[in-house]
Every structure is written in structure tokens, then in C-alpha cells.
């Protein structure tokens, strides 16, 4: 999964300050991105870039330097051009979050995408922007809309990482349980049943349903009930999952989390 982030290219066009290249490399590395492409940089390699990269020098060392935006985009199926101004030319416009969702969707399918950033003083030309299928604008105060180049890279890289983390957790708890247990709908073994009973007993004590000082016959009645059911491994995993979540809820460890998406 992590490897898929390497399908995201950060393209910096005609950057004038090498420090910004270093800052962008650092922002990328923080968020797990690694592919940096520099289109005709004014001053690179540079000590200022290394200094601002602050340890992300591997990204700088591996950076690809090319002469034109066209070369930088070879192999990319989707290109996002960033712009400090909201409507330079009428074009499909996304905010960084929408962009990140689209980026993740693409890379999860194995495609390569590019995030293109412009010059410090002039941004991207109209011609360059028209090479991008989507434009991305970070919703800033319109009276002061231009971020530092490396800061803009940081915002997009962060959103990509958040979208990627969400995508990673997509297989819901129940789906994960099924993935591991559905192949094995065999009945549980006696030892698995024993550890389930121990878990059940501990959970019932924890939620104050069972008083260990006065257990009566609760556990043996429950053993009889579950013993009749010919529980499969999958069903056992579900029951164990319910117990774990019940105990967590009783301990107040669920902080407003939504229900499992069954």
C-alpha cells in the first residue's frame, strides 16, 4: 500500500529559490511522498536546498531534473495544477481535499499522478495550467491568497496522506474479520472455546453483569448455550470482537467513534 504513494509525483516548475525545493522535499518526506521532479530549476543542486530539506536529502538526490513540463508529466494519467488565484481560467477546480481523494483513487488503481506547482513570482502560465486536467486552489483569504511554494506543497501532501490513511482503513472491522475467518468456517476447537469463555467471563465482570463473589451458575449456563451452537471460527471471531468492543465501551474508550460499517 505504501508503495502506491510513490506513484505521486510532485512537479516544481522553474523554481527560483533553491530553499523552496528543499522545503518541498522535507514536506514530501514527512508525508511519505518521494518522487520530486524539477522542471528547469534556476539554481539546483544547491546548499540552500539541502539546508531547508533538513534530512530529506534522499528526496533531493533522487530528484529528476527535466527541461519541460511535458517531460515531467510522461507516464502520468492525471495531472493537478495548483494555482494561488481561484479562477485564472475556467477549469474544473478542486480544493486540496477533493484533489487528495481523486489522487488516492487513481494511485490505488496503479496509475501515476502529478501535482504541479508554479514559480514563486508568477505561478504557472495559462499554457501550463491547460496541461492539467484539474486545477487546485487552497482556499486562502482572497486578499492574501499566495502561500509560500513549500507551504503549498505541504498542504497538498498532508491532504494526500490523510486521504490515503482513510483509504487504508477502508476495509472495516467486520470485513477484516471476514477476510481472515471466512475461509475457515470450520467449527472452533475446544481450546478456542475455552479462551472465549475466559474472555466472556472477564467481560461480564467488567460490565457488572457477573459478580465474581456470587457467580451462581451463569458461566455454566452460558457454556451450555454456546456449546449447543456449533460455533464456527468466523462466528467466534465476531463474538470476540463484540466482547472487545463492549469492554472498551464500558471503559469509556470509544471517543464518539461511529458504528462499525456492517
Q: Name the minimum Å distance from CB 73 to ligand SAH.
A: 15
Q: Name the minimum Å distance from CB 32 to ligand SAH.
A: 20
Instruction: Give me the torsion for CA of 239, 240, 243, 244, rounded to 10°.
Output: -140
DSSP 92: -
Q: Which of 57, 145, 232, 246: binder of ligand SAH (CB under 6 A)? A: 145
Q: Name the minimum Å distance from CB 183 to ligand SAH.
A: 47
Contacts 24+ apart (CB under 8 A), 216-223: 222/197, 223/197
3-state secondary structure of 123: strand
Q: Name the minimum Å distance from CB 25 to ligand SAH.
A: 15
DSSP codes joined into one string, 136-161: E-----GGG-PPPHHHHHHHHHHHHH
Burial of 192 (0-12, 13-18, 19+ CB in 10 A): middle
Residue placing its CB nearer to ligand SAH in the complex, 130 or 202 = 130
Is there binding between residue 123 and ligand SAH (CB under 6 A)?
Answer: yes
Q: Which of 51, 74, 89, 122: binder of ligand SAH (CB under 6 A)? A: 122
The interface with ligand SAH within residues 146-175 (CB under 6 A) comprises 146-147, 149, 152
Binding flags for ligand SAH, 65-84, as an x/- string (CB under 6 A): -----------------xxx
CB atoms within 10 A of CB 103: 28
Is there binding between residue 15 and ligand SAH (CB under 6 A)?
Answer: no
E strand intervals along the chain: 8-13, 35-39, 64-66, 78-82, 93-94, 113-117, 134-136
Residue placing its CB nearer to ligand SAH in the complex, 4 or 147 = 147
Is there binding between residue 5 and ligand SAH (CB under 6 A)?
Answer: no
Is there binding between residue 232 and ligand SAH (CB under 6 A)?
Answer: no
Angle at the Cα of 218 from the Cα atoms of 214 and 222, rounded to 5 degrees = 160
Q: Where do contacts with ligand SAH occur on this chain (CB under 6 A)? A: 82-85, 117-118, 120-124, 136-138, 140, 145-147, 149, 152
Amino acid at each position: 500500500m505504501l508503495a502506491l504513494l510513490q506513484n505521486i509525483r510532485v512537479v516544481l516548475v522553474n523554481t527560483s529559490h533553491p530553499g523552496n525545493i528543499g522545503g518541498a522535499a522535507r514536506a514530501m518526506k514527512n508525508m511519505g511522498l518521494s518522487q520530486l521532479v524539477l522542471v528547469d530549476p534556476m539554481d539546483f543542486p544547491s546548499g540552500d536546498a539541502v539546508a531547508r530539506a533538513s534530512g530529506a536529502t534522499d528526496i533531493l538526490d533522487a530528484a529528476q531534473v527535466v527541461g519541460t513540463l511535458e517531460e515531467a508529466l510522461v507516464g502520468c494519467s492525471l495531472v493537478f495544477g495548483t494555482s494561488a488565484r481561484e479562477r485564472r481560467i475556467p477549469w474544473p477546480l478542486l480544493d486540496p481535499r477533493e484533489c487528495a481523494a481523486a489522487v488516492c483513487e487513481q494511485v490505488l488503481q496503479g496509475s501515476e499522478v502529478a501535482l504541479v506547482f508554479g514559480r514563486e513570482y508568477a505561478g504557472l502560465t495559462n499554457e501550463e495550467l491547460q496541461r492539467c486536467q484539474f486545477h487546485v486552489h487552497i482556499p486562502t483569504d482572497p486578499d492574501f491568497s499566495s502561500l509560500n511554494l513549500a507551504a503549498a506543497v505541504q498542504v497538498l501532501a498532508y491532504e494526500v496522506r490523510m486521504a490515503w490513511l482513510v483509504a487504508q482503513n477502508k476495509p472495516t472491522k467486520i470485513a477484516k474479520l471476514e477476510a481472515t475467518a471466512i475461509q475457515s468456517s470450520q467449527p472452533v476447537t475446544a481450546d478456542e472455546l475455552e479462551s472465549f469463555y475466559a474472555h466472556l467471563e472477564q467481560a461480564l465482570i467488567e460490565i457488572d453483569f457477573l459478580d465474581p463473589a456470587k457467580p451462581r451458575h451463569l458461566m455454566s449456563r452460558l457454556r451450555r448455550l454456546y456449546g449447543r451452537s456449533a460455533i464456527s471460527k468466523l462466528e467466534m471471531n465476531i463474538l470476540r470482537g463484540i466482547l472487545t468492543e463492549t469492554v472498551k465501551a464500558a471503559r469509556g474508550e470509544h471517543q464518539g467513534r461511529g458504528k462499525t460499517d456492517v
